Structures are given as structure tokens and as C-alpha cells.
A and B are shown apart, each in its own frame.
Chain A
Amino acid sequence: MTVVPPRPASRRSSTGNWLLLVPALALLALVLGIPLIESVVRSFGTSTFGTPSTFTFANYGKIFTTSSTLTILLRTLVVALVVTGVTAVLGYPYAYLMTRVGPRARGFMLTIVLIPFWTSALARNFAWIILLGNHAPVQQFFAFFGNPDVVLYGTATGVVVAMSQVLLPFMVLPLYASLGGIDRRLLLAAQGLGSSPTRAFWRVYWPLSRAGVVSGLILVFTLACGFYVTPALVGSPQQSLVAQLLGTETNQLLDFGGASALGLFILVVTLALVAWANRVGGSISAIGAVSVEGRR
């Protein structure tokens, strides 16, 4: 081997670095790129199969003019907002508590947050079918308080309960990362200066935690909008959400043009929300890193 002069060597290794990216990018182009580009083409076409005949916005127009689609979009929005609210209300105190307890209890609490990650998606949904069904524990719980008719299985409320459980870790982990960085001495200082603990919390702690809250809210809302399996299994066809509509249009109605337009609409809304979350708090990869760190 001859001694290689440093300059060309580094340039060659830079080309090598770009080449290392090629296989992964090629696979993504094949599996995501081409299908999405084809989706865009189909969404502006009139025919269902083959090449589109004429250019049209009809598939997009249909999303906002069909009343059943609008009802489903509205229901999805409400369910996603309620789920986001529930996870925030449950997740904030939990994440806050995690920053307060000792290291051993914190490890235990973190493990508990990660359990839904570890439990298979179908096993979890199956469990919720059991828990929310007729004569099931949740119904017996309500019957104990004099409401024997509460059967949540097959209702939007049941879907909200199951989705909140599945999405809670996505609220707790970013919140915990953000709350852990807040200096608690600020709270003690506020109280030392005569503020009540409640007032100190709302005037000092809450504003400092807002970035974590916002990124958690956006993350959960985004994920909730695209949920397919839980509403399909725990809910009912009469209460379907937008993901189920997309599924039905694709493999039952075979309305590929309409499905493409609806799919791209969901994708654009999702990516816009993620880009917003990027500006407010952690980047996509930071969110990924949180869930990955969590799952370890």
C-alpha cells in the first residue's frame, strides 16, 4: 500500500459517506416515494384505475362537500382533541411527580410509562375490548355507583379511553424531559417572597413548562388523528374516524382517487403539525429519541 496524501483521501471518504446513504434512501424512495407521488397523480385524476384522464380537483372537493365525510372529520377532530386533553391532564401530574420522587421510584414510574410501548398493539386493544364490554369491570365499576347502563365498548367514549391509554406515554415522556430541566428553587423563591404555592406554580413553574406541554400536545394530537386499529376494534362502524374512512375507500369502495386525496390531506396536516412542533420544541428526531430512550 502506498501512502495516500491526506487531501484526496478526505474528499474520497466524503463521497463514500454520501454513498452509504444510497441504499436507505433508495428503499424509502421505492416504498414511500413512488407510492406517494402516484398518490398525488391519482388524487388529481378522474379515473379509478390506470392513468388519469383529465386534471381535476374533484377528489379534494369531495372531502369538504360530502356531509358524511365532514361528519367523520369533525368526529376525528373532537376525539383527537379530547384524547389530547385527557393525556395532558393525566400526564402532567405524573411527569411532575416523576421529577419529585427518589431515583428508585422514578425508575419504577418510568418502567410503568413504557409498559404500553412494550405491550403489542393488538393485545392492548383486545384488553380494552374485554375491559369495556358488557358485564366487564368498567361497567361493574359504574354499576357500583348506580349506573348499570354504561357500556363503553362500541362508543366514541370507549375509543377515547383506549386511545388515551395508548398515547399517554407520548405525553409523559416529552413532559418529563422538559419538567426535569426546571429549577425548583424558583418555586421556593416565589413562596419565600410570599406567594401561595398555587400562585407560585401558575406564575413560575407553568410558564417554564409550556414548551414541553405544547410539544406533547401536538405529538399526541397528530398521532390521535391517524389512529386506525383502536377505533376499528373498540369503536363501531357508525362511529368511524377518518383513518377508517380512508381504509374503507381504499379496500372496499376501491375509490383510489378519493382515497389518495384524503390520504394526502391527512399527511399534509400531520407534517404541518410536526413542523410546528419542531419550531415550538424538540425536533422530529428528538421526539423519536425520547420514545427510543424510553423503550430501551
Chain B
Amino acid sequence: MALTDDVSLETRAIPGVRGPRRSPRAVDRIPAWLRVVGVVVAVFLVLPTLVVIPMSFSDSTTFQFPPIGFTWHLYGNFFSSPVWLQALGNSVLVALLTAIVATVLGTAAALGLNRLHGRLANALRTVLMIPLVAPSIVVATAVYITFLQWHLTGTLIGYVLAHTAISLPFVLVNVTASLGSLDPLLLRASTSLGAPPARTFVRVTMPLISRGIVTGAIFAFVTSFDEVVIALFLHSPTFQTLPVQMYNSVTSEIDPTISAASSLIVVVVTLAFLVPQLLRRSSKTTRS
């Protein structure tokens, strides 16, 4: 939202010019070399993603590009291997629990911070954002050593706790953004009509900030589902997630099934991000 605001500001900065996109361009051309650089950078950005999906249909047993032939057998490997399926199941379970816990805690914190001001509130706001900027290797090693003593390594609860901590900032940012556009008069109206705070929250606040909550939950899910570094330290032979299994399949096993796993993750994450877009579209059509 902040990005589009900047853009409209820029467009507005040229007053009285009809079709501001056309006329300045005649005076102020985009040089050809700049377009070429743009295309090269764009290719650089998408190249790895474009490589992953065709590789998953390769018939070769080595990581060779361009892939040879077309076969579904890597997907067959994936869905018939107990190791890969177990890893996928663990990842989905950890990510779902993380999304639930992080969304509840993050939404509560965002609601509280939204109505608090002053130095302490600002300090706490910064503290809650620390997991976003702390290098994951530092978090992973510190958490690993402590969780060893608490016997939480290789456990579901250990994973969910660690992943919730690093997902909280994403929920906080998304819910705070949607609270910013919430009209406080609506809450006053609800209270003055006799609704207790809990009822005001469920009937008024929650529906109005639901998009922020859903987006935050999806971020938490994806953050956990895709998390490697902490998972590499917390994993045990009996409990590991999909990214850890993928990591091991590159470093020690050279198992081409990773191609299928990579494509599946790309598809799952893309779908997860498309869900709110589709929801938005359908809510728009029902409104009109």
C-alpha cells in the first residue's frame, strides 16, 4: 500500500499534463541500455525458479540441466518414499501449528500496541521486530544449545516454539497495517450501544481486520514451512522437516527426488500467497 502511495505521488507531481505517461516520455526518454539492463536483471531474478520446475520432470539420475526426457517418476519417488512423506507431514504440521500460535499471539500484541503510546510501547514494538533482523544462524545456535538442556530438540513443540518466535513480526506488521485503516468511531459506536469489549472485538474489529490476520497467518505458515537454518539444528533422526530432508539430499545423498520436492514447495508457497488475492477478488465481486 505504501508503495502505490509513492507512485501516485509521483504521478501527481506533474500537474496539468494530460496523460502524464505519454508527454514527459517524449522529452525524457528511457534510454535503450537501461531497458536492456532491466531485462538482464529480471532474467537473473527469475532464472533459478524457472530451472526448478523442468528439472523435476527429468529422466536423468544426476542434476543435469537442461533435463533429459519427460517423466513423472521423481514425483512417484517422492510420494512413495516414507522418508519424504514423513518430512512433508512434519513440515505441514509444524507450519499449521506455528501459523495458529503466531497469529493468536501476534494479533493480540498488535491490538495492544495499536492503543498504546510512549517510550515503553515503542521499545516493545522494536523488541517484537528483533527476530526479523537477528541472523537466523545466531538464533539457531543459541536456541539449539538451550533446547538441548530442555530436551526440546527433535520435538514438535520445540519446532513450533522456535518458528513462532521468528513468524511473530510478520503477523504483527500485517495486523498493524490493517488496524491502521480501522475507524475507531466504529468501536466507540459498538461500545456505546452496550457491547462488552469481547463482543466488540468479535463482531466489529475482527471482521474489519480479517484480511490482515489471514495474510499474517499465511506469512507465518510459509515462514515456518520454508525455514531451514533453525530446523537443521533442531532436527533429530526421528523428527525432521522437508527443508532438512532436502538439505541432506543435496549434501549427503545426491537424491534427485529433491527436484520434485522443490517444485512442490514452489507450488504450495505460490498457492498460499494467491489465496488472499483470490479472497479479495471474490469479496469484491460479492460486494458489487
Binding site for B on A (CB under 8 A): 1, 13-14, 16-21, 23-25, 27-28, 30-32, 34-36, 38-39, 42, 90-91, 93-94, 96-97, 99-103, 106, 109-110, 112-113, 115-116, 118-131, 133, 135-137, 165, 168-169, 176-177, 180-185, 187-188, 222-223, 225-226, 228-229, 232-233, 243, 246-247, 250-251, 256, 259-260, 263-264, 266-267, 270-271, 274, 284-285, 287-290, 292-296
- How many angstroms from the CA of A263 to the CA of B162 in the assembled complex? 17
What are 24 A-B pairs at a CB distance below 8 A? A16-B112, A17-B111, A19-B112, A21-B112, A35-B147, A38-B146, A39-B142, A90-B44, A94-B42, A118-B270, A137-B65, A165-B47, A169-B45, A222-B135, A250-B141, A250-B233, A251-B233, A260-B145, A263-B137, A271-B133, A285-B126, A288-B170, A292-B177, A295-B219
B2 at the interface (CB under 8 A from A): yes
* Residues of B in contact with A, size category: 35 or more
Which of B72-80, B202-210, B258-266 is the interface stretch?
B258-266
The answer, among B55, B144, B169, B263, for a CB contact under 8 Å with A288, is B169
Q: A27-B161, A188-B28 are in contact. List 4 more A-B contacts (CB 8 A).
A: A90-B37, A123-B48, A228-B136, A263-B138
- How many angstroms from the CA of A188 to the CA of B28 in the assembled complex? 8
Binding site for A on B (CB under 8 A): 1-3, 6-7, 9-10, 13-14, 21, 24, 27-28, 30, 34-35, 37-38, 41-42, 44-49, 51-52, 55, 63-66, 101, 104-106, 108-109, 111-113, 115-116, 124-147, 161-162, 164-165, 168-170, 172-174, 177, 194, 196-197, 215, 219, 226, 228-229, 232-233, 243, 246-247, 250-251, 258-259, 262-263, 265-266, 269-270, 273, 276
Q: Please name the 10 residue pairs, one residue from A and one from B, whose CB atoms are nearest each other, closest first.
A: A226-B135, A20-B112, A127-B48, A123-B262, A180-B6, A35-B142, A24-B109, A35-B146, A31-B165, A120-B265
- How many angstroms from the CA of A187 to the CA of B187 in the assembled complex? 48
Q: What residue in chain A is nearest B226 (Cβ atoms)? A: A120
